A and B are shown apart, each in its own frame.
Chain A
Amino acid sequence: MKRPIRIASGQGFWGDWLDAPMRQVEAGPIDYLMMDYLAEVTMSIMQKQRSRNPELGYAKDFVPLMRRLLPAIVRKGVRVTANAGGVNPMACAHAVLSEAREADLSGKVAVGVVTGDDLLPRLDELLAGGYRLDNLDTGEPLTSVLDAVQSANVYLGAWPLVDALARGANVLITGRVTDTGLTLAPMIHEFGWAQDDWDRMAAGTVAGHIIECGAQCSGGNCMYGWERIPNLDDPGYPIIEAHPDGTFAVTKHEGTGGRVSVQSVTEQLLYEMGDPTEYITPDCIADFTTIAVKRAGKDRVGVSGIRGRAATDSLKVSISYSYGYKAVGTLVYAWPDAVKKARAADKILRARLDRLGLVFDEFMTEIVGVDATHGRLAGPPDPEIAEVQLRVGVRARERPSVERFSREIAPLILNGPPGVTGFASGRPKVEEIVAYWPALIPKSEIHPKVEILEA
Protein backbone atom coordinates (compact mmCIF):
# COMPACT_ATOMS: atom_id res chain seq x y z
CA MET A 1 0.00 0.00 0.00
CA LYS A 2 1.16 3.46 -0.85
CA ARG A 3 2.25 5.42 2.21
CA PRO A 4 0.20 8.44 3.19
CA ILE A 5 1.42 11.83 1.98
CA ARG A 6 1.86 14.81 4.26
CA ILE A 7 0.63 18.18 3.02
CA ALA A 8 1.51 21.09 5.28
CA SER A 9 -0.11 24.50 5.40
CA GLY A 10 2.40 27.34 5.49
CA GLN A 11 0.33 30.50 5.03
CA GLY A 12 -3.38 31.08 5.65
CA PHE A 13 -3.47 34.47 3.96
CA TRP A 14 -1.19 37.14 2.52
CA GLY A 15 0.25 38.60 5.70
CA ASP A 16 0.29 35.43 7.79
CA TRP A 17 3.15 34.47 10.15
CA LEU A 18 6.38 34.58 8.16
CA ASP A 19 8.08 31.88 10.25
CA ALA A 20 5.40 29.27 9.65
CA PRO A 21 6.51 27.88 6.26
CA MET A 22 10.12 27.38 7.36
CA ARG A 23 8.99 25.64 10.54
CA GLN A 24 6.76 23.34 8.53
CA VAL A 25 9.70 22.33 6.35
CA GLU A 26 12.29 22.02 9.14
CA ALA A 27 10.40 20.67 12.17
CA GLY A 28 9.42 17.30 10.74
CA PRO A 29 8.66 15.30 7.62
CA ILE A 30 6.36 16.74 4.97
CA ASP A 31 5.91 16.07 1.26
CA TYR A 32 4.10 19.22 0.19
CA LEU A 33 3.85 22.76 1.46
CA MET A 34 0.72 24.67 0.43
CA MET A 35 0.43 28.41 0.88
CA ASP A 36 -2.71 30.41 0.32
CA TYR A 37 -2.24 34.09 -0.49
CA LEU A 38 -5.39 35.26 -2.20
CA ALA A 39 -8.47 36.77 -0.65
CA GLU A 40 -11.20 38.36 -2.75
CA VAL A 41 -9.82 41.89 -2.51
CA THR A 42 -6.18 40.85 -2.90
CA MET A 43 -6.41 40.56 -6.67
CA SER A 44 -7.40 44.20 -7.10
CA ILE A 45 -4.47 45.36 -4.94
CA MET A 46 -2.14 43.29 -7.09
CA GLN A 47 -3.76 44.56 -10.27
CA LYS A 48 -3.02 48.13 -9.15
CA GLN A 49 0.59 47.22 -8.46
CA ARG A 50 0.95 45.67 -11.90
CA SER A 51 -0.57 48.71 -13.61
CA ARG A 52 2.17 50.82 -12.01
CA ASN A 53 4.93 48.31 -12.72
CA PRO A 54 4.45 45.42 -15.20
CA GLU A 55 6.99 43.36 -13.21
CA LEU A 56 4.76 43.38 -10.10
CA GLY A 57 1.28 42.17 -9.25
CA TYR A 58 2.04 39.15 -7.06
CA ALA A 59 2.64 38.50 -3.35
CA LYS A 60 6.02 40.16 -3.05
CA ASP A 61 6.95 38.56 0.28
CA PHE A 62 6.73 35.17 -1.38
CA VAL A 63 10.07 35.76 -3.12
CA PRO A 64 12.24 36.41 -0.02
CA LEU A 65 10.32 33.61 1.68
CA MET A 66 11.29 31.23 -1.14
CA ARG A 67 14.88 32.40 -0.88
CA ARG A 68 14.84 31.03 2.67
CA LEU A 69 12.88 27.90 1.78
CA LEU A 70 14.48 26.75 -1.47
CA PRO A 71 17.64 25.09 -0.09
CA ALA A 72 15.60 23.13 2.45
CA ILE A 73 12.82 22.08 0.08
CA VAL A 74 15.34 20.96 -2.53
CA ARG A 75 17.31 19.02 0.08
CA LYS A 76 14.21 17.36 1.50
CA GLY A 77 12.29 16.91 -1.73
CA VAL A 78 9.34 19.00 -0.57
CA ARG A 79 7.11 20.44 -3.28
CA VAL A 80 5.39 23.79 -2.93
CA THR A 81 1.91 24.80 -4.12
CA ALA A 82 1.11 28.50 -3.76
CA ASN A 83 -1.33 30.93 -5.37
CA ALA A 84 1.17 33.72 -4.67
CA GLY A 85 1.30 34.62 -8.37
CA GLY A 86 -1.71 36.91 -8.04
CA VAL A 87 -2.32 38.71 -11.32
CA ASN A 88 1.23 38.14 -12.53
CA PRO A 89 2.31 34.52 -11.89
CA MET A 90 4.95 34.66 -14.61
CA ALA A 91 6.77 37.61 -13.04
CA CYS A 92 6.58 35.88 -9.68
CA ALA A 93 8.01 32.70 -11.21
CA HIS A 94 10.92 34.57 -12.78
CA ALA A 95 11.70 36.25 -9.47
CA VAL A 96 11.77 32.86 -7.72
CA LEU A 97 13.91 31.34 -10.48
CA SER A 98 16.46 34.09 -10.13
CA GLU A 99 16.60 33.41 -6.38
CA ALA A 100 17.16 29.73 -7.18
CA ARG A 101 20.09 30.55 -9.46
CA GLU A 102 21.62 32.86 -6.88
CA ALA A 103 21.33 30.09 -4.31
CA ASP A 104 23.23 27.75 -6.65
CA LEU A 105 20.20 25.57 -7.18
CA SER A 106 20.24 25.62 -10.97
CA GLY A 107 18.90 22.35 -12.31
CA LYS A 108 17.14 21.61 -9.03
CA VAL A 109 14.17 23.94 -9.21
CA ALA A 110 11.42 23.58 -11.78
CA VAL A 111 8.68 26.15 -11.42
CA GLY A 112 5.25 25.22 -12.68
CA VAL A 113 3.32 28.33 -13.62
CA VAL A 114 -0.46 28.16 -13.89
CA THR A 115 -2.13 30.96 -15.83
CA GLY A 116 -5.36 31.41 -17.74
CA ASP A 117 -7.37 32.76 -14.82
CA ASP A 118 -6.97 36.41 -15.82
CA LEU A 119 -10.09 37.44 -17.74
CA LEU A 120 -9.47 41.18 -17.72
CA PRO A 121 -8.09 41.24 -21.28
CA ARG A 122 -11.02 39.05 -22.39
CA LEU A 123 -13.93 40.88 -20.80
CA ASP A 124 -15.11 42.68 -23.93
CA GLU A 125 -14.85 39.48 -25.95
CA LEU A 126 -16.82 37.53 -23.32
CA LEU A 127 -19.54 40.17 -23.05
CA ALA A 128 -19.78 40.35 -26.84
CA GLY A 129 -20.10 36.57 -26.84
CA GLY A 130 -23.28 36.85 -24.81
CA TYR A 131 -21.93 36.23 -21.30
CA ARG A 132 -23.46 38.95 -19.14
CA LEU A 133 -21.41 38.11 -16.04
CA ASP A 134 -24.38 39.04 -13.88
CA ASN A 135 -23.63 39.75 -10.25
CA LEU A 136 -24.45 36.53 -8.38
CA ASP A 137 -25.78 38.48 -5.40
CA THR A 138 -27.74 41.27 -7.08
CA GLY A 139 -28.44 39.99 -10.61
CA GLU A 140 -27.14 43.20 -12.21
CA PRO A 141 -25.27 42.83 -15.54
CA LEU A 142 -21.55 43.62 -15.52
CA THR A 143 -22.04 46.33 -18.16
CA SER A 144 -23.42 48.56 -15.38
CA VAL A 145 -19.95 48.85 -13.81
CA LEU A 146 -17.74 47.87 -16.74
CA ASP A 147 -15.81 51.14 -16.86
CA ALA A 148 -14.86 50.76 -13.21
CA VAL A 149 -13.60 47.16 -13.42
CA GLN A 150 -10.06 46.71 -12.10
CA SER A 151 -9.54 42.97 -12.20
CA ALA A 152 -11.38 39.85 -13.32
CA ASN A 153 -10.12 36.39 -12.45
CA VAL A 154 -11.75 33.04 -12.72
CA TYR A 155 -11.25 30.52 -9.94
CA LEU A 156 -9.31 27.57 -11.33
CA GLY A 157 -9.32 24.23 -9.54
CA ALA A 158 -6.76 21.52 -8.84
CA TRP A 159 -6.28 20.04 -12.33
CA PRO A 160 -3.81 22.51 -13.85
CA LEU A 161 -1.64 21.93 -10.76
CA VAL A 162 -1.90 18.17 -11.22
CA ASP A 163 -0.57 18.66 -14.73
CA ALA A 164 2.34 20.75 -13.45
CA LEU A 165 3.20 18.12 -10.82
CA ALA A 166 3.10 15.36 -13.45
CA ARG A 167 5.55 17.37 -15.52
CA GLY A 168 8.01 17.49 -12.67
CA ALA A 169 7.56 20.96 -11.19
CA ASN A 170 8.62 21.25 -7.57
CA VAL A 171 7.45 24.82 -7.04
CA LEU A 172 3.94 25.62 -8.28
CA ILE A 173 3.03 29.26 -8.67
CA THR A 174 -0.51 30.10 -9.69
CA GLY A 175 -2.87 32.99 -10.06
CA ARG A 176 -6.46 32.67 -8.87
CA VAL A 177 -6.55 29.00 -7.97
CA THR A 178 -8.96 27.98 -5.19
CA ASP A 179 -7.46 27.60 -1.75
CA THR A 180 -8.71 24.02 -1.68
CA GLY A 181 -7.17 23.17 -5.06
CA LEU A 182 -3.69 23.75 -3.62
CA THR A 183 -4.22 20.81 -1.24
CA LEU A 184 -6.31 18.58 -3.48
CA ALA A 185 -3.85 18.64 -6.39
CA PRO A 186 -1.03 16.76 -4.60
CA MET A 187 -3.48 14.03 -3.59
CA ILE A 188 -4.75 13.57 -7.14
CA HIS A 189 -1.19 13.49 -8.40
CA GLU A 190 0.09 11.01 -5.81
CA PHE A 191 -2.89 8.67 -5.73
CA GLY A 192 -3.99 8.88 -9.37
CA TRP A 193 -7.56 9.76 -8.48
CA ALA A 194 -10.00 10.01 -11.38
CA GLN A 195 -11.63 13.30 -12.27
CA ASP A 196 -15.09 11.87 -11.63
CA ASP A 197 -14.19 10.17 -8.38
CA TRP A 198 -16.38 12.74 -6.64
CA ASP A 199 -16.06 11.34 -3.14
CA ARG A 200 -12.28 11.59 -3.26
CA MET A 201 -12.41 15.01 -4.93
CA ALA A 202 -14.64 16.09 -2.03
CA ALA A 203 -12.31 14.52 0.53
CA GLY A 204 -9.32 16.44 -0.79
CA THR A 205 -11.43 19.58 -0.95
CA VAL A 206 -12.49 19.25 2.67
CA ALA A 207 -8.86 18.66 3.65
CA GLY A 208 -7.99 21.84 1.79
CA HIS A 209 -10.75 23.77 3.53
CA ILE A 210 -9.45 22.61 6.93
CA ILE A 211 -5.88 23.84 6.38
CA GLU A 212 -6.44 26.82 4.07
CA CYS A 213 -6.54 29.24 7.00
CA GLY A 214 -3.31 28.01 8.52
CA ALA A 215 -3.32 27.77 12.32
CA GLN A 216 -7.03 28.56 12.50
CA CYS A 217 -7.61 24.78 12.66
CA SER A 218 -4.72 24.00 15.00
CA GLY A 219 -5.46 26.17 18.01
CA GLY A 220 -5.38 29.69 16.62
CA ASN A 221 -8.57 31.74 16.99
CA CYS A 222 -10.06 28.65 18.67
CA MET A 223 -12.92 29.46 20.99
CA TYR A 224 -13.04 26.01 22.56
CA GLY A 225 -10.89 26.01 25.69
CA TRP A 226 -8.73 28.82 24.35
CA GLU A 227 -6.97 29.44 27.66
CA ARG A 228 -5.72 25.86 27.79
CA ILE A 229 -4.22 25.80 24.30
CA PRO A 230 -0.48 25.54 24.86
CA ASN A 231 2.36 27.63 23.45
CA LEU A 232 0.59 29.85 20.95
CA ASP A 233 3.89 31.74 20.74
CA ASP A 234 5.02 28.86 18.53
CA PRO A 235 1.86 27.40 16.98
CA GLY A 236 2.16 24.25 14.93
CA TYR A 237 0.55 24.90 11.56
CA PRO A 238 -1.64 22.07 10.33
CA ILE A 239 -0.57 19.05 8.31
CA ILE A 240 -2.87 16.74 6.36
CA GLU A 241 -1.82 13.11 6.30
CA ALA A 242 -3.72 11.84 3.30
CA HIS A 243 -4.45 8.24 2.32
CA PRO A 244 -5.28 6.92 -1.15
CA ASP A 245 -8.81 5.98 -0.05
CA GLY A 246 -9.72 9.61 0.68
CA THR A 247 -9.48 9.40 4.45
CA PHE A 248 -7.02 11.68 6.15
CA ALA A 249 -5.73 12.88 9.48
CA VAL A 250 -5.19 16.46 10.56
CA THR A 251 -2.10 16.86 12.72
CA LYS A 252 0.93 19.09 13.33
CA HIS A 253 4.62 18.63 14.00
CA GLU A 254 5.61 17.23 17.39
CA GLY A 255 6.95 19.75 19.85
CA THR A 256 5.04 22.68 18.40
CA GLY A 257 2.40 24.71 20.22
CA GLY A 258 -1.28 25.03 19.51
CA ARG A 259 -3.68 22.09 19.48
CA VAL A 260 -5.34 19.90 16.90
CA SER A 261 -8.58 18.61 18.40
CA VAL A 262 -12.01 17.59 17.18
CA GLN A 263 -13.20 21.00 18.39
CA SER A 264 -10.47 23.02 16.67
CA VAL A 265 -11.05 21.20 13.39
CA THR A 266 -14.84 21.45 13.67
CA GLU A 267 -14.65 25.21 14.21
CA GLN A 268 -12.62 25.54 11.03
CA LEU A 269 -14.96 23.25 9.06
CA LEU A 270 -17.78 25.70 9.77
CA TYR A 271 -15.76 28.80 8.89
CA GLU A 272 -17.35 30.77 6.02
CA MET A 273 -19.83 27.93 5.53
CA GLY A 274 -22.96 28.43 3.43
CA ASP A 275 -25.26 25.50 2.69
CA PRO A 276 -23.18 22.62 4.10
CA THR A 277 -24.64 20.10 1.65
CA GLU A 278 -23.18 21.98 -1.29
CA TYR A 279 -19.71 23.38 -0.95
CA ILE A 280 -19.06 24.19 -4.60
CA THR A 281 -15.55 24.28 -6.07
CA PRO A 282 -14.32 23.89 -9.65
CA ASP A 283 -13.44 20.28 -8.79
CA CYS A 284 -16.60 18.94 -7.15
CA ILE A 285 -19.48 19.66 -4.81
CA ALA A 286 -18.57 18.53 -1.30
CA ASP A 287 -21.23 17.60 1.25
CA PHE A 288 -20.09 18.74 4.69
CA THR A 289 -22.94 16.86 6.37
CA THR A 290 -21.14 13.61 5.56
CA ILE A 291 -17.86 14.40 7.30
CA ALA A 292 -16.94 12.20 10.26
CA VAL A 293 -14.39 13.76 12.60
CA LYS A 294 -12.79 11.65 15.32
CA ARG A 295 -9.94 11.99 17.78
CA ALA A 296 -7.06 9.75 16.65
CA GLY A 297 -4.42 10.59 19.25
CA LYS A 298 -2.71 13.59 20.73
CA ASP A 299 -2.99 16.49 18.28
CA ARG A 300 -4.37 14.14 15.68
CA VAL A 301 -7.89 14.07 14.26
CA GLY A 302 -9.15 11.49 11.77
CA VAL A 303 -11.51 12.60 9.02
CA SER A 304 -13.51 10.16 6.91
CA GLY A 305 -16.83 9.39 5.24
CA ILE A 306 -16.82 12.40 2.94
CA ARG A 307 -19.22 12.29 0.01
CA GLY A 308 -19.15 14.47 -3.07
CA ARG A 309 -21.13 15.13 -6.21
CA ALA A 310 -20.29 16.08 -9.77
CA ALA A 311 -18.77 19.49 -10.31
CA THR A 312 -20.94 22.10 -12.01
CA ASP A 313 -20.40 23.27 -15.60
CA SER A 314 -19.41 26.75 -14.57
CA LEU A 315 -16.60 28.50 -12.78
CA LYS A 316 -16.81 31.45 -10.46
CA VAL A 317 -15.35 34.74 -11.62
CA SER A 318 -14.08 37.22 -9.08
CA ILE A 319 -14.32 40.73 -10.49
CA SER A 320 -13.23 43.87 -8.65
CA TYR A 321 -14.33 47.39 -9.50
CA SER A 322 -13.93 50.91 -8.13
CA TYR A 323 -16.95 51.66 -6.04
CA GLY A 324 -16.27 54.88 -4.15
CA TYR A 325 -14.54 56.14 -1.03
CA LYS A 326 -14.61 55.70 2.70
CA ALA A 327 -12.91 57.01 5.81
CA VAL A 328 -13.08 56.03 9.47
CA GLY A 329 -12.04 58.38 12.28
CA THR A 330 -11.60 57.65 15.98
CA LEU A 331 -11.30 59.58 19.22
CA VAL A 332 -11.00 58.29 22.78
CA TYR A 333 -13.10 59.69 25.64
CA ALA A 334 -12.13 59.05 29.27
CA TRP A 335 -14.02 58.77 32.56
CA PRO A 336 -16.17 60.36 33.87
CA ASP A 337 -19.17 60.03 31.54
CA ALA A 338 -17.02 58.61 28.76
CA VAL A 339 -19.97 57.20 26.80
CA LYS A 340 -22.05 60.39 27.15
CA LYS A 341 -19.15 62.48 25.89
CA ALA A 342 -18.55 60.18 22.92
CA ARG A 343 -22.22 60.35 21.98
CA ALA A 344 -22.25 64.13 22.34
CA ALA A 345 -19.20 64.41 20.08
CA ASP A 346 -20.91 62.22 17.49
CA LYS A 347 -23.99 64.46 17.57
CA ILE A 348 -21.87 67.60 17.12
CA LEU A 349 -19.97 66.04 14.24
CA ARG A 350 -23.18 65.03 12.45
CA ALA A 351 -24.66 68.52 12.88
CA ARG A 352 -21.55 70.10 11.38
CA LEU A 353 -21.51 67.74 8.43
CA ASP A 354 -25.23 68.37 7.88
CA ARG A 355 -24.62 72.08 7.86
CA LEU A 356 -21.96 71.58 5.21
CA GLY A 357 -24.59 69.85 3.11
CA LEU A 358 -22.48 66.72 2.74
CA VAL A 359 -24.28 63.61 1.62
CA PHE A 360 -23.04 60.12 2.37
CA ASP A 361 -24.31 56.72 1.29
CA GLU A 362 -23.58 55.56 4.78
CA PHE A 363 -22.73 57.25 8.06
CA MET A 364 -21.87 54.88 10.88
CA THR A 365 -21.13 55.47 14.54
CA GLU A 366 -19.76 52.86 16.90
CA ILE A 367 -18.70 53.23 20.50
CA VAL A 368 -15.85 50.76 20.93
CA GLY A 369 -16.16 49.31 24.43
CA VAL A 370 -19.95 49.52 24.26
CA ASP A 371 -21.60 48.45 21.02
CA ALA A 372 -19.03 48.10 18.22
CA THR A 373 -19.13 44.34 17.81
CA HIS A 374 -22.32 43.06 19.44
CA GLY A 375 -24.59 46.09 19.07
CA ARG A 376 -27.50 46.19 21.48
CA LEU A 377 -26.83 42.58 22.49
CA ALA A 378 -24.02 43.86 24.69
CA GLY A 379 -26.55 45.55 26.97
CA PRO A 380 -26.24 48.94 28.65
CA PRO A 381 -22.69 50.25 29.19
CA ASP A 382 -21.06 50.48 32.60
CA PRO A 383 -21.54 54.14 33.64
CA GLU A 384 -18.11 54.05 35.32
CA ILE A 385 -16.33 52.71 32.21
CA ALA A 386 -12.73 53.97 32.11
CA GLU A 387 -12.72 55.00 28.47
CA VAL A 388 -14.42 54.35 25.16
CA GLN A 389 -13.42 54.93 21.59
CA LEU A 390 -15.76 56.87 19.34
CA ARG A 391 -15.44 55.39 15.87
CA VAL A 392 -17.20 57.21 13.03
CA GLY A 393 -17.14 56.17 9.39
CA VAL A 394 -18.59 57.47 6.14
CA ARG A 395 -18.93 56.09 2.63
CA ALA A 396 -19.73 57.94 -0.59
CA ARG A 397 -19.38 57.46 -4.35
CA GLU A 398 -17.41 60.70 -4.73
CA ARG A 399 -14.20 61.59 -2.98
CA PRO A 400 -14.72 65.25 -1.91
CA SER A 401 -17.37 64.65 0.77
CA VAL A 402 -15.27 61.88 2.34
CA GLU A 403 -12.23 64.13 2.18
CA ARG A 404 -14.14 66.91 3.96
CA PHE A 405 -15.32 64.47 6.62
CA SER A 406 -11.73 63.48 7.33
CA ARG A 407 -10.99 67.10 8.32
CA GLU A 408 -13.88 67.36 10.77
CA ILE A 409 -12.62 64.90 13.42
CA ALA A 410 -9.55 66.71 14.76
CA PRO A 411 -11.35 70.00 15.55
CA LEU A 412 -13.47 68.12 18.11
CA ILE A 413 -10.41 67.80 20.32
CA LEU A 414 -10.43 71.51 21.08
CA ASN A 415 -14.00 72.50 20.32
CA GLY A 416 -16.01 69.47 21.51
CA PRO A 417 -16.67 67.61 24.77
CA PRO A 418 -13.80 67.27 27.28
CA GLY A 419 -11.76 64.24 28.31
CA VAL A 420 -10.75 63.48 24.72
CA THR A 421 -7.49 62.00 23.52
CA GLY A 422 -6.06 59.39 21.20
CA PHE A 423 -5.69 61.31 17.98
CA ALA A 424 -1.99 60.70 17.52
CA SER A 425 -2.34 59.08 14.12
CA GLY A 426 -3.72 62.25 12.54
CA ARG A 427 -6.53 62.70 10.04
CA PRO A 428 -8.39 59.60 8.95
CA LYS A 429 -7.14 58.24 5.65
CA VAL A 430 -9.51 58.46 2.70
CA GLU A 431 -9.56 55.00 1.17
CA GLU A 432 -10.68 54.02 -2.28
CA ILE A 433 -13.24 51.23 -2.10
CA VAL A 434 -12.69 48.38 -4.50
CA ALA A 435 -15.81 46.27 -4.43
CA TYR A 436 -16.25 42.64 -5.29
CA TRP A 437 -18.46 41.35 -8.09
CA PRO A 438 -18.98 37.58 -8.16
CA ALA A 439 -20.18 36.03 -11.43
CA LEU A 440 -20.22 32.71 -13.31
CA ILE A 441 -18.72 31.64 -16.62
CA PRO A 442 -19.07 28.29 -18.43
CA LYS A 443 -16.03 26.04 -17.99
CA SER A 444 -15.84 25.60 -21.75
CA GLU A 445 -14.69 29.23 -22.08
CA ILE A 446 -11.71 28.81 -19.78
CA HIS A 447 -8.38 27.34 -20.83
CA PRO A 448 -5.80 27.10 -18.05
CA LYS A 449 -2.21 27.10 -19.20
CA VAL A 450 0.69 25.32 -17.51
CA GLU A 451 4.33 26.11 -18.20
CA ILE A 452 7.41 24.61 -16.59
CA LEU A 453 10.41 26.90 -16.19
CA GLU A 454 13.73 25.52 -14.98
CA ALA A 455 16.34 27.37 -13.00
Chain B
Amino acid sequence: MTSKKSRKATKKVRLLELAHARSGDKGDTANVGLIALKAEYYPILKRQVTAARVAKHFRGVIEGGVERFELPNLRALNFLLHGALGGGGTLSLKTDAQGKVFSSALLRMQIDVPRSLHV
Protein backbone atom coordinates (compact mmCIF):
# COMPACT_ATOMS: atom_id res chain seq x y z
CA MET B 1 0.00 0.00 0.00
CA THR B 2 2.94 2.32 0.57
CA SER B 3 3.73 2.25 -3.14
CA LYS B 4 0.17 3.26 -3.92
CA LYS B 5 0.48 6.09 -1.45
CA SER B 6 3.73 7.35 -3.01
CA ARG B 7 2.18 7.17 -6.45
CA LYS B 8 -0.55 9.38 -5.18
CA ALA B 9 1.96 11.95 -3.95
CA THR B 10 3.15 12.62 -7.46
CA LYS B 11 1.67 13.08 -10.89
CA LYS B 12 3.07 12.74 -14.37
CA VAL B 13 3.37 15.82 -16.53
CA ARG B 14 5.01 16.47 -19.84
CA LEU B 15 8.02 18.75 -19.87
CA LEU B 16 5.96 20.96 -22.15
CA GLU B 17 4.04 22.03 -19.02
CA LEU B 18 7.22 23.01 -17.18
CA ALA B 19 9.66 24.35 -19.72
CA HIS B 20 10.27 25.94 -23.07
CA ALA B 21 13.24 25.14 -25.25
CA ARG B 22 15.36 26.00 -28.25
CA SER B 23 17.63 23.74 -30.23
CA GLY B 24 20.36 24.12 -32.81
CA ASP B 25 23.24 22.19 -34.33
CA LYS B 26 26.98 21.86 -34.25
CA GLY B 27 28.16 19.26 -36.74
CA ASP B 28 26.35 16.01 -36.06
CA THR B 29 25.35 17.15 -32.57
CA ALA B 30 22.06 18.81 -31.71
CA ASN B 31 21.82 21.00 -28.66
CA VAL B 32 18.64 21.54 -26.69
CA GLY B 33 18.41 24.39 -24.20
CA LEU B 34 15.65 23.58 -21.73
CA ILE B 35 14.33 26.59 -19.80
CA ALA B 36 12.07 26.36 -16.75
CA LEU B 37 8.84 28.30 -17.17
CA LYS B 38 8.92 29.25 -13.47
CA ALA B 39 11.82 29.49 -11.03
CA GLU B 40 10.34 26.75 -8.84
CA TYR B 41 10.41 24.31 -11.74
CA TYR B 42 14.17 24.54 -12.22
CA PRO B 43 15.13 22.26 -9.28
CA ILE B 44 12.63 19.69 -10.58
CA LEU B 45 14.18 19.79 -14.03
CA LYS B 46 17.66 19.62 -12.58
CA ARG B 47 16.79 16.58 -10.48
CA GLN B 48 14.76 14.64 -13.00
CA VAL B 49 15.91 15.58 -16.48
CA THR B 50 19.30 13.93 -16.20
CA ALA B 51 21.60 13.12 -19.09
CA ALA B 52 20.73 9.44 -18.60
CA ARG B 53 16.97 10.13 -18.73
CA VAL B 54 17.38 12.21 -21.88
CA ALA B 55 19.54 9.51 -23.49
CA LYS B 56 16.80 6.98 -22.74
CA HIS B 57 14.14 9.34 -24.11
CA PHE B 58 16.00 9.72 -27.41
CA ARG B 59 16.96 6.05 -27.74
CA GLY B 60 16.48 5.02 -31.37
CA VAL B 61 16.28 8.66 -32.41
CA ILE B 62 19.93 9.62 -31.86
CA GLU B 63 23.02 7.45 -32.27
CA GLY B 64 25.46 8.91 -29.74
CA GLY B 65 25.51 9.89 -26.09
CA VAL B 66 24.04 12.82 -24.20
CA GLU B 67 25.87 15.49 -22.20
CA ARG B 68 24.21 17.93 -19.82
CA PHE B 69 25.30 21.37 -18.62
CA GLU B 70 23.61 23.50 -15.96
CA LEU B 71 22.84 27.21 -16.26
CA PRO B 72 21.12 28.05 -12.97
CA ASN B 73 21.43 31.76 -13.82
CA LEU B 74 19.02 31.22 -16.72
CA ARG B 75 17.15 28.43 -14.85
CA ALA B 76 18.11 26.31 -17.82
CA LEU B 77 19.82 23.06 -18.74
CA ASN B 78 21.73 22.56 -21.96
CA PHE B 79 21.85 19.11 -23.55
CA LEU B 80 24.17 17.96 -26.28
CA LEU B 81 22.69 15.08 -28.25
CA HIS B 82 25.51 13.44 -30.19
CA GLY B 83 24.98 11.59 -33.47
CA ALA B 84 21.57 13.22 -33.78
CA LEU B 85 21.60 14.68 -37.26
CA GLY B 86 22.36 11.91 -39.74
CA GLY B 87 25.91 13.14 -40.29
CA GLY B 88 25.07 16.78 -39.73
CA GLY B 89 25.33 19.87 -41.85
CA THR B 90 25.27 19.26 -45.58
CA LEU B 91 25.70 15.46 -45.25
CA SER B 92 22.36 14.98 -43.55
CA LEU B 93 19.35 13.74 -45.50
CA LYS B 94 16.94 14.46 -42.66
CA THR B 95 14.13 16.99 -42.73
CA ASP B 96 15.52 18.37 -39.50
CA ALA B 97 19.15 18.36 -40.61
CA GLN B 98 19.93 21.29 -38.32
CA GLY B 99 18.18 19.91 -35.27
CA LYS B 100 15.73 22.79 -35.07
CA VAL B 101 12.91 20.79 -33.52
CA PHE B 102 14.74 18.49 -31.13
CA SER B 103 13.61 21.16 -28.66
CA SER B 104 9.98 20.09 -28.79
CA ALA B 105 10.95 16.41 -29.05
CA LEU B 106 12.49 16.75 -25.59
CA LEU B 107 9.34 18.48 -24.28
CA ARG B 108 7.43 15.25 -24.94
CA MET B 109 9.23 13.64 -22.00
CA GLN B 110 7.07 12.80 -19.00
CA ILE B 111 8.40 13.40 -15.52
CA ASP B 112 7.05 13.03 -11.98
CA VAL B 113 6.16 16.15 -10.06
CA PRO B 114 4.55 16.57 -6.64
CA ARG B 115 0.78 16.34 -6.98
CA SER B 116 0.58 19.69 -5.20
CA LEU B 117 2.63 21.44 -7.86
CA HIS B 118 0.55 23.92 -9.78
CA VAL B 119 1.25 23.53 -13.50
Contacts and interface: CB of A to CB of B under 8 A. Distances in A.
A21 B91 CA distance: 32
Contact of B90 (A224, A368, A391, A433): A433
Interface string A258-275: 000001001111111111
A117 to B, nearest CB: 20
Interface in A357-410: 362, 364, 366, 368, 372-377, 391, 393-395
Interface residues of B, number: 40
B89 A40 contact: yes
A274 B61 contact: no
B60 A266 contact: no
Contact of B94 (A221, A272, A292, A364): A364
Given A373-B101, A375-B61, A270 B108 contact: no
Contacts of A435: 89-91
A195 interface: no
Interface stretch (A66-74, A102-110, A283-291, A440-448): A283-291
Interface string B57-99: 1101100000001111110101010000011011101111000
Given A270-B31, A290-B73, A393 B24 contact: no
B69 to A, nearest CB: 5
> Which range contains the number of A residues in contact with the other chain?
35 or more
A223 B103 contact: yes
A289 B103 contact: no
Contact of A267 (B31, B33, B104): B33
Nearest to B105: A374
Given A223-B20, A274-B26, A323-B90, A373 B95 contact: yes
B24 A272 contact: yes
B82 to A, nearest CB: 10
B96 A267 contact: no
A360 to B, nearest CB: 10
A277 interface: yes
Contact of A372 (B73, B87, B90, B95): B95
A272 B69 CA distance: 13
Given A290-B73, A372-B96, A377-B61, A276 B35 contact: no
A436 B89 contact: yes
A300 interface: no
A298 B93 CA distance: 42
B22 interface: yes
Contacts of A393: 93-94
A242 B36 CA distance: 28
A246 to B, nearest CB: 16
Contacts of B95: 366, 368, 372-373, 391
A435 B24 CA distance: 18
Contacts of B24: 271-273
A266 B76 contact: yes
Contacts of B86: 362, 364
Contact of B74 (A272, A291, A326): A291
Contacts of B90: 41, 323, 433-436
Nearest to B30: A272
A288 B72 CA distance: 10
A54 to B, nearest CB: 25
B18 interface: no
Interface of B: 20-28, 31, 33, 35, 37, 57-58, 60-61, 69-74, 76, 78, 80, 86-87, 89-91, 93-96, 101, 103-105, 108
18 contacts: A137-B28, A223-B22, A224-B37, A266-B35, A266-B76, A267-B20, A267-B22, A270-B22, A273-B31, A276-B69, A289-B73, A292-B73, A293-B74, A305-B73, A374-B108, A375-B60, A375-B61, A435-B89
Interface of A: 40-41, 137, 221, 223-224, 263, 266-277, 288-293, 305, 323, 326, 328, 362, 364, 366, 368, 372-377, 391, 393-395, 433-436, 438
Given A223-B103, A275-B69, 20 more contacts: A223-B104, A224-B20, A224-B35, A267-B20, A271-B22, A272-B25, A273-B24, A274-B80, A289-B71, A291-B73, A364-B93, A366-B95, A368-B95, A373-B105, A375-B61, A375-B105, A377-B61, A391-B95, A433-B90, A438-B27
